Amino acid sequence: MDYIAEGLVQALNLLLQGDPETFSAIWVTLRVSTASILASLILGIPPGFLLGHYSFAGKRAVRVIVDTLLSLPTVVIGLLVYTLVSRQGPLGEFGLLFTLPAICIGQTILGLPIVIALTASAVETLDQRLPALLSTLGADRKQMLLTTVWESRFSLLAAAVTAYGRIVSEVGISMMVGGNIKWYTRTITTAIALETNKGRFAFGIALGLVLLLIAFLINLVLNVLKKRTQV
Amino acid sequence: MPPLYELENIRQVYARRVVLEIDQMVVYPGEIIGLSGPNGSGKSTLLRILAMLESPVRGRIFFSGRPANPNDLQSRRQITLLSQSPYLLKRSVLGNVSYGLKLRGITGKKEKARAALSMVGLDPQEFAGRMWYELSGGEAQRVALAARLAIRPGALLLDEPTAYLDEYSAERIRSAALYAVEKWNTALVLVSHDHAWLGSVCQRILQMHRGRLQAS
């Protein structure tokens, strides 16, 4: 048990003293995961809105596919992106393998089904009286669309926070297509996996604490948003 | 005075069942009409058709002399409907009341919204900044009416607006609706089981039974 306590003390020291290696992994994680969630939101909210708002032939089949993709393993996404960006792959000429953009592509694929599915659910569960209200107060089509999006803002934020939680804590994609290169593509999760294998528990615990803090903040925000959407 | 609404041979059908069958109906500006009848007699369906929220399967409707069409924004913006449990937008009271004005690009939204709040007996100072979840049922209903009054409608359609309210809130709703008629010559179509109210304010009370108008 002593080595755990010692690891914890050392971890706090690393964080408090601003250890460059620790903060490099934190900074890389925040940069790449923020870019990924933004891409997921930009690409995911419009189709999610359409899926939730309109009825069309094959809608149920699309929902089943999107819901299935929610449980897509990160190593499978890693494999897919690896085949795309490796030298022989269709995107090989861009030299993306073992770069942050490659991780970003993978994490966007990870976040996309979450954003689409939760956006569709948010729009589907909007109050049935909303369209009548907008019509009776004189909204045109564009105004109805924009107000509907605005009315589902808390649910959309909750979708973003949920997707961010999944993205920031994944390890498979970052490891496979990022390569875990120190100072460059090493994220919190890949650093924990590597350094724990090397016996550097304090380093792993320090990064684990940061990840826990991020998870705590994400859940805190989700909790507030859930309350707001229920009133 | 030319009629505001003219309805001819209206029929509405839900799931192959005829729910509304009206040969003729006319509503004039400034007129107060009551609709009375048992549940399921077609009163709310008629109001939804008058509000252009749905189109009948048969028949013709004219609003201000023009064929009624939900895509005709100019006509639709003169009509508004308040139901017994209206939806409030997830924003402040002021945001809710000024929403219709904002859609129309009307200037002086805040002042007009505050005046509408006063009309329904809500102190703008106290209520304007409140959020939608900080209101009681009666206050929410009055905010919803204020949002409709703010746009100065040509036709105000009220579907049992006082059904779940205490006497104070109900009275504020009644007096605000009458104020619109007096001030802007708004046509008022009321659905209510409150026969005393209908009897005291309506120029005509139309009885409905099984989708048909029984008597004037």
Distances from the Cα of A162 to the Cαs of A88, A148, A224, in angstroms? 34, 21, 13
> Within chain A, which residues score under 70 in pLDDT?
1, 228-231
Does B133 contact A at CB distance below 8 Å?
Answer: yes
Nearest to B101 by CA among B144, B50, B139, B152: B152
CATH code, domain with A155: 1.10.3720.10
Q: How far apart are CA B31 and CA B142, in angstroms?
A: 22
CA closest to B101 among chain A residues: A137
Provide, as residue numbers in chain A, all residues whose Cβ is less than 8 Å from the Cβ of B70: 135
Q: Which residues are CB-contacts of B183 (< 8 A; sequence separation ≥ 6)?
A: none
Burial class (CB in 10 A: 0-12, 13-18, 19+), A3: exposed
Cβ separation of A137 and B86 shorter than 8 Å? no
User: What whole-number distance in Å separates Cα of residue B178 and Cα of residue B102?
Assistant: 25
Number of domains in chain A: 1
Of A137, A150, A231, the CB nearest to B151: A137
Between the CA atoms of B80, B85, B87 and B93, what dihedral angle is there, to the nearest 10 degrees?
90
Report ipTM for this prediction. Answer: 0.92
Which of A127, A130, A134, A136 has the most B C-beta neighbours within 10 Å, making it the best mutation to test the interface with B?
A: A136
B89·A147 Cβ contact <8 A: yes
Residue B165 — very low, low, confident or very high, per pLDDT cuts 50/70/90?
confident
* The predicted structure's pLDDT at residue A178: 95
pLDDT of B192 strictly over 80: yes
pLDDT over 70 at B5, yes or no: yes
End-to-end Cα spacing for chain B: 20
Q: A140, B83: Cβ pair inside 8 Å?
A: no
By C-alpha distance, the chain A residue nearest B157 is A136
Question: Smallest Cα–Cα separation from B177: which of B82, B111, B62, B64?
Answer: B82
Domain limits at A108?
A: 2-230
Q: Could you report the per-residue pLDDT of B105-116, keeping only the tens digit for each?
A: 999 999 999 999
Rounded to an integer, what distance in angstroms lies between the CA atom of residue A141 and that of residue A14?
56
Q: How far is B99 from chain A (nearest CA, A)?
A: 8
Of A132, A138, A140, the CB nearest to B100: A138
8 A C-beta contact, residue A98 and residue A179: yes
Which pLDDT does position A223 carry in this prediction? 82
Q: In chain B, which residues have their Cβ closer than 8 Å to the Cβ of A136?
A: 51, 53, 79-81, 148
* Side chain identity, residue B24: Q
pLDDT at res. A215: 84
Cβ–Cβ of A133/B86 closer than 8 Å?
A: yes
Whole-structure pTM value: 0.82
Kindly report, residue by residue over B36-89, the tens digit of the pLDDT.
Answer: 999 999 999 999 999 999 999 999 999 999 999 888 999 999 999 999 888 999
Contact assignment for A154 to B52 by CB distance below 8 Å: no
Q: Please give the pLDDT value at position A13.
A: 83
Sort out which chain B residues have CB atoms less than 8 A from A153's CB and list them. 90
Average pLDDT, chain B: 94
| pLDDT for the residue A230 | 58
Is the model's pLDDT at B124 over the cut of 90? yes
Which chain A residues have a beta carbon less than 8 Å from that of B151? 137-138
Interface of B with A in 138-177 (CB under 8 A): 147-148, 151
Q: Count CB atoms within 10 A of the CB of residue A146.
A: 12
How is residue A146 written in tokens?
Answer: 């924009």
B26 phi/psi in degrees, rounded to 5: -130, 135
The 3-class secondary structure across chain B, one letter per residue, is CCCCEEEEEEEEEECCEEEEEEEEEEECCCCEEEEECCCCCCHHHHHHHHCCCCCCCEEEEEECCEECCCCCHHHHCCEEEECCCCCCCCCEHHHHHCHHHHHCCCCCHHHHHHHHHHHCCCCHHHHCCCEHHHCCHHHHHHHHHHHHHCCCCCEEEEECCCCCCCHHHHHHHHHHHHHHHHHHCCEEEEECCCHHHHHHHCCEEEEEECCEEEEC
Q: Tell me phi and psi for residue B159, to 5 degrees.
A: -105, 95
Q: Does B73 touch chain A (CB under 8 A)?
A: yes
**pLDDT of residue B216 exceeding 60:** no
Q: Do B73 and A129 touch (CB under 8 A)?
A: no
Whether B77 has its CB under 8 Å from any CB of chain A: the answer is yes
Q: What is the distance between the alpha carbons of residues B23 and B157, in angstroms, rounded to a whole number?
A: 20
